[in-house]
Structure 1
């Protein structure tokens, strides 16, 4: 892989390296704290200071066979020097570990000590540009200077990695959560974009990608179960901007490309340079790029009406077709999520997304969608089903302006086994944890985190995956609030 050619072709790297005046965020800071005083529920987006550690109080009973570590990651620091970031995606990574064993739960949380985090902590102010906030007080060498390590926490071969979008993985000590350092999978891959959504391969190891918006290319990585690099490649994807997630089936890698243009502007944040191109007389469709795993080349490109996508469930081969799950949003939602930082709720999101199953018909050259569920996000499947046929899809459902329900959808019948939390709760991503030698996708537990606004605390939730509607079999309540995480994974003991 020609690393230099890939990075130099990126629109963002060249534009952001032009230093200019910092755009102050005191107004965002003021508005958020005024809103927080009126609405304590916004505390899930408040700043986090220092590490966390504590024992949870158990309501109900933790199943005896549920033992291991539930690793989570999300943005934790949004404020520094009287300024506040302007987008939820900007905060410094705060990794968490919920340790489960013997019917007890212990929690710990710690910031990832990235180069950015250390430099800005020492300076007492934001120095570098981030996803949705333009700051240019100090120049930078490469993508890893900007790395927030704030999106996922992935175990692999006895190690744990905090992942971002546009740069390297950061290795984290699996026990203490201390930052070990930048992980270069191979010398020539240093600072290359490495997405926060690697996927297990049915044949072993994992796949990942790296997308540098504006480069017109997507980098491909295949790693062995031991973390060694087996193969790399690059595919040409013109007019490619934000690509957050992808899918892996037995034979293919699948990417959905939302219709964005990137405009120049040295005083604009990365998010502000995204221009939605999915409306108007010259609206572009959403493209689906299918890459063959055996050759790492594009097999076929499909089109769907223009929509935005963040996350996918799973993909599998169905005869001469490939099927997969996705949560699709109408229009550009990036700016609306940014409003959370000033205390605004993204009201319109509640009616603008749906979970669908997509069928890629290679012979006809057509992509068809069928609806699975209404307004939702954070789809997950059982880990043993990745890349193969599945029949259960985990989805968080929207209510009012927050994610408020946990649902297990039967993708064949459409039946939903779900549980809605009451008013005053906000739900985070939930994952399926199979029992040892599980006989089905629901033979195990559904584990996640929810924020209790009324008590101002973080709560780990445990459901019987076969009876979600019966409610949690256990709640592990902390004596403090935890930052709202994006993604994580369960590692059984």
Structure 2
């Protein structure tokens, strides 16, 4: 495929991350973290993990009788090997998790994704390859999938389950055992192309997704049908494109927010090469027309950084979308706990906003929905359509930890918040909205997620009534052990 060769040849590429003669993973980070961990239980979610997990949870409260299915989750689990420790939270090898809910009971399973990188480094007893925030150059990198950590999302789709990482291919897992089946190539000419960790599902059951590599200045767009066949692709030029983690889809458009980063020359990890240029460049909203797969318009907003977006919908000749925007450079923040530094989360100065993009005027406007927050989600039945509820995690007033500790359902029309704060000793992970069968509203169902009880060293599945989050969980399913913190996941109804 000429477009594939052009894409890979133009990019700086993840395969070019480790180029210096010095290995920068070090034992000092390892020692610093463990010295801090001994006196601060809040660091437990960032501790290294080894082995597999399986066990039944102890259910407190009552699980709703109509809540049945599997909550798939994924995140980094291995941060240390051979006495060395990664520098950045995003570096860890993927640890897939499966929470099975049925008949009022919850069973948990977790295991590492057996990527090529994970298997080779396990045999070697030390890290061999560079990661997002840690530079290592002990072995040659032959493609993006050589360093694929498969650590960001777990997607159930068309009878399979896929561990996703934005820099390379999807990795297929067994839906029941989580055994690794291997790299998924959606079409032969797309082999080793990046496949984002945030695909979006269309009402017909198909998927939209994209790929991006730092320095390529190209976005590749994918459209898969409900059977997993690639029906459309396009390669779009986007100048100064370096970090795009997520996107949103409306009925007629795809929207990408491009923060103002430049990419320095090779010689350090990708995280260190990303240079914030908020004083010189804006945050750009790149709108792609679904019908033609071409860039329709580019809007400029005040410079901020962004990881995650919520949802988008077409409103006449405008698009409205939700996003969590951060003031300044957010790439260094997740590196702090890796060396034992727990600074207040408020340092990121984030807020959830609704953005309106007006095609006629070319102007972008925004309205604040919520304060310090992350991980926005909407009910699955309203993706790409008009929505009125946005689910976000937040930080409780007066919190002094760099952790999200509250679950909040925001009414995007009125601004009213229905929220619950877990409080000190808890770190809350991404939650999702799970509709009841035949749900007529966005709150006709449940809010399901995971939280870390750092004081007990246990991981807990949480279930809220989506109509009344503020009263707290209707059920907690507590494991007798700690599982690694996950980034993202999805609920598959039985």
Q: TM-score, normalised by structure 1?
A: 0.98
Determine the structure 2 residue equivalent to 1:390. 387
Determine the structure 2 residue equivalent to 1:277. 277
CA–CA distance in structure 2, aligned partners of residues 354 and 341 of structure 1: 24
Alignment of 1:81-100 (within 5 A): 81-100=82-101
CA–CA distance in structure 2, aligned partners of residues 346 and 247 of structure 1: 31
- Residues 203 and 102 (structure 1 numbering): CA distance in 2 closer, same or farther, change over 3 Å? closer
Q: Secondary structure at the match of 2:28?
A: helix
CA–CA distance in structure 1, aligned partners of residues 442 and 15 of structure 2: 46
| Structure 1 residue ranges, 4+ long, deviating more than 4 angstroms after superposition | none
Q: Secondary structure at the match of 1:144?
A: helix
Please say if residues 218 and 241 of structure 2, whose CA atoms lie closer than 8 Å, have aligned partners that are also in contact: yes
CA-atom RMSD, angstroms?
Answer: 1.0
CA–CA distance in structure 2, aligned partners of residues 55 and 241 of structure 1: 43
Please say if residues 19 and 137 of structure 1, whose CA atoms lie closer than 8 Å, have aligned partners that are also in contact: no
CA–CA distance in structure 2, aligned partners of residues 346 and 384 of structure 1: 37
CA–CA distance in structure 2, aligned partners of residues 55 and 97 of structure 1: 12
Q: Secondary structure at the match of 1:177?
A: coil
Please say if residues 15 and 142 of structure 2, whose CA atoms lie closer than 8 Å, have aligned partners that are also in contact: no
| Matched length | 489
Please say if residues 372 and 411 of structure 1, whose CA atoms lie closer than 8 Å, have aligned partners that are also in contact: yes
CA–CA distance in structure 1, aligned partners of residues 391 and 408 of structure 2: 6
CA–CA distance in structure 1, aligned partners of residues 114 and 89 of structure 2: 19
Question: How far 1:348 moved relative to its partner?
Answer: 5.3
Question: How far 1:11 moved relative to its partner?
Answer: 1.2
Determine the structure 2 residue equivalent to 1:424. 425
CA–CA distance in structure 2, aligned partners of residues 346 and 240 of structure 1: 30
Alignment of 1:226-245 (within 5 A): 226-245=227-246
CA–CA distance in structure 2, aligned partners of residues 237 and 33 of structure 1: 43
Q: Secondary structure at the match of 1:38?
A: coil
- Residues 14 and 77 (structure 1 numbering): CA distance in 2 closer, same or farther, change over 3 Å? closer
Please say if residues 250 and 388 of structure 1, whose CA atoms lie closer than 8 Å, have aligned partners that are also in contact: yes
Residue ranges of structure 1 left out of the alignment (5+ in a row): none
1:361 paired with 2:358, answer yes
Give a deviation string over 1:338-368, Cα, whole Å, max 9, x none: 1111011242545600000000000000010
- Residues 43 and 119 (structure 1 numbering): CA distance in 2 closer, same or farther, change over 3 Å? same
Q: Secondary structure at the match of 1:367?
A: strand
Determine the structure 2 residue equivalent to 1:335. 332
CA–CA distance in structure 1, aligned partners of residues 276 and 394 of structure 2: 25
Please say if residues 350 and 398 of structure 1, whose CA atoms lie closer than 8 Å, have aligned partners that are also in contact: no
Determine the structure 2 residue equivalent to 1:410. 411
1:437 paired with 2:415, answer no
Give a deviation string over 1:226-247, Cα, whole Å, max 9, x none: 1000101011001011100001
Question: How far 1:22 moved relative to its partner?
Answer: 1.3
- Residues 318 and 247 (structure 1 numbering): CA distance in 2 closer, same or farther, change over 3 Å? same
410-419 vs 396-405, which deviates more? 396-405
Please say if residues 55 and 479 of structure 2, whose CA atoms lie closer than 8 Å, have aligned partners that are also in contact: yes
Q: Secondary structure at the match of 2:404?
A: strand
Give a deviation string over 1:245-287, Cα, whole Å, max 9, x none: 0011000000000000000132x001000000102xxx10011
CA–CA distance in structure 1, aligned partners of residues 412 and 274 of structure 2: 34
Alignment of 1:304-315 (within 5 A): 304-315=301-312
Determine the structure 2 residue equivalent to 1:26. 27
CA–CA distance in structure 2, aligned partners of residues 334 and 4 of structure 1: 29
CA–CA distance in structure 1, aligned partners of residues 7 and 239 of structure 2: 13
Alignment of 1:313-332 (within 5 A): 313-332=310-329
- Residues 385 and 167 (structure 1 numbering): CA distance in 2 closer, same or farther, change over 3 Å? same
Q: Secondary structure at the match of 2:98?
A: strand
Alignment of 1:228-307 (within 5 A): 228-266=229-267, 268-279=268-279, 283-307=280-304
CA–CA distance in structure 2, aligned partners of residues 372 and 222 of structure 1: 31
1:118 paired with 2:115, answer no
CA–CA distance in structure 2, aligned partners of residues 380 and 349 of structure 1: 21
Please say if residues 19 and 139 of structure 1, whose CA atoms lie closer than 8 Å, have aligned partners that are also in contact: no
15-24 vs 142-151, which deviates more? 15-24
Determine the structure 2 residue equivalent to 1:380. 377
Alignment of 1:58-207 (within 5 A): 58-207=59-208
Question: How far 1:130 moved relative to its partner?
Answer: 0.5
- Residues 185 and 269 (structure 1 numbering): CA distance in 2 closer, same or farther, change over 3 Å? same
Q: Secondary structure at the match of 2:119?
A: helix
Give a deviation string over 1:53-76, Cα, whole Å, max 9, x none: 011001000111100000000000
Question: How far 1:14 moved relative to its partner?
Answer: 6.2
Give a deviation string over 1:348-397, Cα, whole Å, max 9, x none: 54560000000000000001000000010000000000000000000000
Question: How far 1:152 moved relative to its partner?
Answer: 0.1
Please say if residues 196 and 211 of structure 2, whose CA atoms lie closer than 8 Å, have aligned partners that are also in contact: yes
Question: How far 1:17 moved relative to its partner?
Answer: 5.8
Q: Secondary structure at the match of 1:30?
A: helix
Residue ranges of structure 2 left out of the alignment (5+ in a row): none
- Residues 164 and 437 (structure 1 numbering): CA distance in 2 closer, same or farther, change over 3 Å? same
Q: Secondary structure at the match of 1:65?
A: coil
Question: How far 1:20 moved relative to its partner?
Answer: 2.5
CA–CA distance in structure 2, aligned partners of residues 485 and 360 of structure 1: 32
Pick one of 336, 340, 344 that aligns with 2:341. Answer: 344
